[in-house]
Amino acid sequence: LIDLACMAGLCIVPDLYLVRAGRFAAPFILITHFLVQWGYFLWFEWRWNGATPGKRLMGIRVIQASGARCTFERLVLRNFLRVVDFLPFLYARGAATMLVSRRGARLGDLAAGTVCVRVPRPPPPAAAADRFTAARGNFSRFAGSGGTDRASLGRALSSYVSSASGGSRTAAQRM
Protein backbone atom coordinates (compact mmCIF):
# COMPACT_ATOMS: atom_id res chain seq x y z
CA LEU A 1 0.00 0.00 0.00
CA ILE A 2 2.92 2.34 0.66
CA ASP A 3 4.28 1.77 -2.84
CA LEU A 4 0.80 2.21 -4.29
CA ALA A 5 0.50 5.60 -2.57
CA CYS A 6 3.94 6.63 -3.85
CA MET A 7 3.06 5.56 -7.38
CA ALA A 8 -0.25 7.44 -7.21
CA GLY A 9 1.61 10.57 -6.16
CA LEU A 10 4.07 10.15 -9.02
CA CYS A 11 1.15 9.92 -11.45
CA ILE A 12 -1.21 12.54 -10.02
CA VAL A 13 1.25 15.42 -9.70
CA PRO A 14 2.25 15.43 -13.40
CA ASP A 15 -1.41 14.82 -14.36
CA LEU A 16 -2.44 18.05 -12.64
CA TYR A 17 -0.08 19.99 -14.88
CA LEU A 18 -0.73 18.00 -18.03
CA VAL A 19 -4.52 18.37 -17.86
CA ARG A 20 -4.07 22.08 -18.55
CA ALA A 21 -2.63 21.19 -21.95
CA GLY A 22 -6.11 20.26 -23.20
CA ARG A 23 -6.53 17.57 -25.82
CA PHE A 24 -2.76 17.14 -26.20
CA ALA A 25 -2.44 15.94 -22.60
CA ALA A 26 -3.75 12.39 -23.09
CA PRO A 27 -0.60 10.93 -24.73
CA PHE A 28 1.65 12.51 -22.11
CA ILE A 29 -0.57 11.25 -19.27
CA LEU A 30 -0.44 7.72 -20.72
CA ILE A 31 3.34 7.92 -21.09
CA THR A 32 3.68 9.15 -17.50
CA HIS A 33 1.54 6.33 -16.15
CA PHE A 34 3.42 3.77 -18.26
CA LEU A 35 6.81 4.98 -17.01
CA VAL A 36 5.68 5.00 -13.39
CA GLN A 37 4.09 1.55 -13.64
CA TRP A 38 7.15 -0.03 -15.27
CA GLY A 39 9.89 2.09 -13.80
CA TYR A 40 8.94 2.52 -10.14
CA PHE A 41 9.75 -0.97 -8.86
CA LEU A 42 12.66 -1.48 -11.25
CA TRP A 43 14.37 1.83 -10.42
CA PHE A 44 13.97 1.61 -6.66
CA GLU A 45 14.94 -2.06 -6.42
CA TRP A 46 17.99 -1.39 -8.57
CA ARG A 47 19.14 1.83 -6.88
CA TRP A 48 18.08 1.08 -3.27
CA ASN A 49 19.68 -2.36 -3.02
CA GLY A 50 16.52 -4.39 -3.66
CA ALA A 51 14.03 -2.25 -1.76
CA THR A 52 11.26 0.13 -2.73
CA PRO A 53 10.07 2.73 -0.20
CA GLY A 54 7.35 0.31 0.94
CA LYS A 55 9.76 -2.61 1.25
CA ARG A 56 12.22 -0.44 3.15
CA LEU A 57 9.56 0.66 5.65
CA MET A 58 8.44 -2.94 6.10
CA GLY A 59 12.03 -4.17 6.53
CA ILE A 60 12.27 -6.42 3.45
CA ARG A 61 14.34 -6.42 0.28
CA VAL A 62 14.90 -8.52 -2.83
CA ILE A 63 18.10 -10.52 -3.29
CA GLN A 64 19.22 -13.36 -5.54
CA ALA A 65 18.49 -16.87 -4.29
CA SER A 66 22.26 -17.27 -3.77
CA GLY A 67 22.22 -14.36 -1.30
CA ALA A 68 23.99 -11.92 -3.61
CA ARG A 69 22.66 -8.52 -4.60
CA CYS A 70 20.22 -8.63 -7.55
CA THR A 71 21.60 -7.81 -10.95
CA PHE A 72 19.78 -5.36 -13.17
CA GLU A 73 18.86 -8.15 -15.61
CA ARG A 74 17.20 -10.22 -12.87
CA LEU A 75 15.26 -7.19 -11.67
CA VAL A 76 14.05 -6.49 -15.23
CA LEU A 77 12.82 -10.09 -15.58
CA ARG A 78 11.24 -10.06 -12.10
CA ASN A 79 9.37 -6.83 -12.75
CA PHE A 80 8.45 -7.71 -16.35
CA LEU A 81 6.58 -10.74 -15.04
CA ARG A 82 4.68 -8.54 -12.59
CA VAL A 83 2.10 -8.09 -15.39
CA VAL A 84 1.60 -11.86 -15.58
CA ASP A 85 1.30 -12.05 -11.77
CA PHE A 86 -1.32 -9.30 -11.88
CA LEU A 87 -3.60 -11.25 -14.23
CA PRO A 88 -6.49 -12.01 -14.30
CA PHE A 89 -7.39 -9.68 -11.44
CA LEU A 90 -5.35 -7.96 -8.70
CA TYR A 91 -2.40 -10.36 -8.51
CA ALA A 92 -4.58 -13.48 -8.52
CA ARG A 93 -2.04 -15.52 -10.50
CA GLY A 94 0.80 -14.24 -8.30
CA ALA A 95 -1.10 -15.20 -5.15
CA ALA A 96 -1.85 -18.66 -6.55
CA THR A 97 1.83 -19.15 -7.44
CA MET A 98 2.85 -18.07 -3.95
CA LEU A 99 0.51 -20.63 -2.40
CA VAL A 100 1.87 -23.45 -4.56
CA SER A 101 5.61 -22.71 -4.48
CA ARG A 102 7.75 -24.00 -1.60
CA ARG A 103 9.42 -20.62 -1.03
CA GLY A 104 6.16 -18.69 -1.23
CA ALA A 105 7.50 -16.78 -4.25
CA ARG A 106 5.54 -15.20 -7.03
CA LEU A 107 6.12 -16.09 -10.69
CA GLY A 108 8.54 -13.18 -11.24
CA ASP A 109 10.71 -14.32 -8.34
CA LEU A 110 10.75 -17.93 -9.53
CA ALA A 111 11.76 -16.95 -13.07
CA ALA A 112 14.42 -14.45 -11.97
CA GLY A 113 15.84 -16.59 -9.16
CA THR A 114 15.16 -13.94 -6.53
CA VAL A 115 13.75 -14.02 -3.01
CA CYS A 116 12.34 -11.43 -0.62
CA VAL A 117 14.09 -11.44 2.75
CA ARG A 118 13.65 -9.60 6.02
CA VAL A 119 16.35 -7.08 6.85
CA PRO A 120 17.33 -6.89 10.52
CA ARG A 121 16.46 -3.48 11.91
CA PRO A 122 19.05 -1.53 13.92
CA PRO A 123 18.02 -0.59 17.46
CA PRO A 124 16.12 2.68 17.59
CA PRO A 125 18.11 5.75 18.64
CA ALA A 126 15.93 6.06 21.75
CA ALA A 127 17.36 2.79 23.09
CA ALA A 128 20.89 4.20 22.91
CA ALA A 129 19.72 7.39 24.61
CA ASP A 130 18.07 5.33 27.36
CA ARG A 131 21.32 3.44 27.96
CA PHE A 132 23.21 6.75 28.20
CA THR A 133 20.68 8.15 30.67
CA ALA A 134 20.93 5.01 32.81
CA ALA A 135 24.74 5.15 32.80
CA ARG A 136 24.67 8.85 33.72
CA GLY A 137 22.32 8.07 36.61
CA ASN A 138 24.60 5.29 37.84
CA PHE A 139 27.63 7.58 37.64
CA SER A 140 25.89 10.38 39.53
CA ARG A 141 25.32 7.94 42.39
CA PHE A 142 29.12 7.66 42.77
CA ALA A 143 29.77 11.37 42.23
CA GLY A 144 27.24 12.31 44.92
CA SER A 145 27.89 15.72 46.44
CA GLY A 146 31.66 15.40 46.35
CA GLY A 147 32.03 18.61 44.34
CA THR A 148 32.44 19.42 40.71
CA ASP A 149 36.17 20.03 40.55
CA ARG A 150 38.35 17.79 38.40
CA ALA A 151 39.81 15.76 41.24
CA SER A 152 36.46 14.80 42.76
CA LEU A 153 34.99 13.93 39.35
CA GLY A 154 38.09 11.83 38.61
CA ARG A 155 37.71 9.95 41.91
CA ALA A 156 34.01 9.38 41.22
CA LEU A 157 34.73 8.12 37.71
CA SER A 158 37.46 5.84 39.02
CA SER A 159 35.13 4.45 41.67
CA TYR A 160 32.36 3.94 39.11
CA VAL A 161 34.62 2.19 36.61
CA SER A 162 36.17 -0.09 39.22
CA SER A 163 32.75 -1.11 40.55
CA ALA A 164 31.44 -1.73 37.03
CA SER A 165 34.46 -3.88 36.12
CA GLY A 166 34.36 -5.95 39.28
CA GLY A 167 37.00 -4.05 41.24
CA SER A 168 39.94 -4.49 38.86
CA ARG A 169 42.50 -1.68 38.68
CA THR A 170 41.68 0.74 35.84
CA ALA A 171 43.69 3.25 33.87
CA ALA A 172 41.99 6.06 35.80
CA GLN A 173 43.27 4.61 39.09
CA ARG A 174 46.85 4.26 37.82
CA MET A 175 47.05 7.96 36.99
Phi-psi region at 22: left, alpha or beta (left = phi > 0; alpha = psi -120 to 50): left
pTM: 0.61
Is 95 within 8 Å of 84 (Cβ atoms)? no
In this prediction, residue 61 carries a pLDDT of 92
Tell me what pLDDT residue 172 has.
43
Q: Which helix (H) or strand (E) holds 19?
A: none
Cα dihedral across residues 27, 30, 36, 39: positive or negative? negative
Low-confidence ranges of the chain (pLDDT < 50): 168-175
Task: Convert the pLDDT of each residue in 24-72 to its tens digit.
Answer: 788 888 888 888 888 999 999 999 988 999 999 899 999 999 989 999 9
**Can you give the pLDDT at residue 171?**
45
Q: Which residues contact 3 (CB under 8 A, 6 or more apart)?
A: 40, 41, 52, 53, 54, 55
